[in-house]
Amino acid sequence: MSLVARPLAGPGCPGTALNVVEREGWTITHDEVGNAYVFPPDHRVIAAFLPERNDFAAAEALWVIRAYGDLNDVLWEATFTEETPTEFIAAFLADLTKSEPLDPAREDEETPVPTAIT
């Protein structure tokens, strides 16, 4: 029996991650220096692949994924460096494209609305 070596996950090709969201109907745009930005139809999330640094993110971030609220305020942000395997970023983006809740057991729970203390 012979064994075939399987390479470990590595930085890889950005297309591995970008194709995941493109198949789900997200739009891919590029700027003039080669950075790529992807948006879902509702534009509530942006995923940016930034091989050419700009003001969108810190210098060490190669990937930036942000979710926005109703007033275009940033709800959360995830950043990944060039050492992050592309397969990990693809899996992260694949979860964002799912229409079902991330935790189905909590689907029916209501989030309590904070009340002002008087």
User: Mapping DSSP to helix (H, G, I), strand (E, B) and coil, where does residue 36 land?
Assistant: strand
Per-residue confidence (pLDDT) for residue 116, from 0 to 100: 44
Per-residue confidence (pLDDT) for residue 70, from 0 to 100: 83
Q: Are 48 and 117 in contact (CB under 8 A)?
A: no
d(CA 43, CA 26): 9
Per-residue confidence (pLDDT) for residue 4, from 0 to 100: 53
Q: Are 59 and 66 in contact (CB under 8 A)?
A: no
- pLDDT one digit per residue (tens) for the chain, 118 residues: 565 555 556 666 888 899 999 999 999 999 999 999 999 998 999 999 998 876 777 667 899 999 998 888 999 999 998 888 889 999 999 999 887 655 556 556 554 444 444 4
Residue 60: HSE in the Cβ half-sphere, 13 Å Cα cutoff? 6
Q: Which stretch of DSSP H or E encloses residue 21?
A: helix 15-22
Q: What's this model's pTM, rounded to 2 decimal places? A: 0.71
End-to-end Cα distance, the chain: 75
Per-residue confidence (pLDDT) for residue 23, from 0 to 100: 93
Per-residue confidence (pLDDT) for residue 100, from 0 to 100: 62
Burial of 54-83, coded b for 16+ CB within 10 Å and e otherwise, reads: eeebeeebbbbbbebeeeeeeeeeebbeee
